[in-house]
Amino acid sequence: FGRLGVGISRRVGGMTMLHVSGSYRSTDFLTRRTDLNLLVSPAAQDQHGRPIYGPLQKSGELVNVAHPHRRFDDFDRVSALTADGWSRYWGITLGLEREFNGSYAYFANYTYSRTTDNWLGIRSGAPDAQLTPFPEDAADWREGTSDYDLPHRISAGLEIRPQISLSPRITALYSYRSGYPFTPGFREGVDVNGDGSSRNDPAFVDDAIAGVPELISSWDCLSEQRGRFAERNACRQSGVHGLNARVALSISATPRLSAQVYLDAINLLESEVGEPDRALYLINSSGSLVVNQATGTVSLPMVANPHFGEPIARTGAGRMLRIGLQGHH
């Protein structure tokens, strides 16, 4: 584990400070999960060349392994945790801050950062999401953009104190962050590589499938992955904006007793927050698996998912107004 940080602050003008800082973090010996009982080599492949480790069966829009082919049939998944994971983070922050001088003050910060690792599925917390879909890939598909990579973050605040009766204070706080990255793949319950996990299969971006060209035109990340398996966390959700505001008034009942009445407006800017629909493809419920015994190829009936990337379940807090009264002696 290693961490390095450096920062410089300089006054520009009488009441304004400029801040510049950078940080780097390196973490090693993170635990990664491996299935020791998976076949040494795949038993088949799909129409895009994906390795398949067990016979597939289809039920409606679900595809899973009928009975996993294992090195030792008396056992199912045998997990090994190895401390060979790593994470690298670096970021640069620019900040501007103005102290109170009369009736207003403000601050603004912007951070650009990148996080890379080989720590699969860590944000989902599901053990089967940590298994690599390409165990034979020497380039190691797991290495790339982290589940926690948020390149852009902004925060800004403003407070105004007009010099009038009731001593009003008006405060606003704005924030923005990039959306979390995700890997184009399939829905839960679709295990296209037959390794017993429906959480770790990236999609092959095939513009010959009806509806995919329209998705490619809407998502730049798909255009960059055209004609190959999507890289880990190749796509990203929309950014998340936030805006909160407060108006407060001071009331003096006696020289020794005063009160403050305030109105809070929370989430004035509300963004859609929630787990995205990672499925680039849906399994056609009316289609069938086609097995070519001569080549060992299994063709899956797939159709483009028109709701790709949209939130499946929204978890935003919603807009809210809050009125309060606070007394002071």
pLDDT tens-digit map of 112-129: 999 999 999 988 888 889
Average pLDDT, integer, range 64-90: 88
pTM of the model: 0.88
Q: What contacts 253, CB < 8 A, 6 or more positions away? A: 259
Lowest mean pLDDT among 20-34, 45-59, 133-147, 298-312: 133-147
* Cβ burial 165-174 (10 Å sphere, 16+ → b, else e): eeeebebbeb
Under 8 Å between Cβ of 66 and 55: yes
Integer Cα distance of 324 and 322 in angstroms: 7
What percentage of residues in the chain have a pLDDT greater than 90? 64
Asked if pLDDT for residue 240 goes beyond 90, the answer is: yes
Q: What is the 3-state secondary structure (H, E, C) of the chain?
A: CEEEEEEEEEECCCCEEEEEEEEEEEEEEEEEEEECCECCCCCEEECCCCEECCCEEEECCEEEECCCCECCCCCCCCEEEEEEEEEEEEEEEEEEEECCCCCEEEEEEEEEEEEEECCCCCCCCCHHHHCCCCCCCCCCCCCEECCCCCCEEEEEEEEECCCCCCCCEEEEEEEEECCCEECCECCCCECCCCCCCCCCCCCECCCCCCCHHHHHHHCHHHHHCCCCECCCCCEECCCEEEEEEEEEEEEEEECCEEEEEEEEEECCCCCCCEEECCECEEECCCCCCEEECCCCEEECCEEECCCCCCEEEECCCCCEEEEEEEEEC
Asked if pLDDT for residue 213 goes beyond 90, the answer is: yes
The closest alpha carbon to 24, from 47, 44, 1, belongs to 1
pLDDT for the residue 101:
78
pLDDT tens-digit map of 31-60: 999 999 988 888 899 999 999 998 899 999
Return mean pLDDT, the chain.
90
Average pLDDT, integer, range 267-283: 89
- Structure confidence at residue 138 as a pLDDT band (50, 70, 90): low
- Structure confidence at residue 10 as a pLDDT band (50, 70, 90): very high
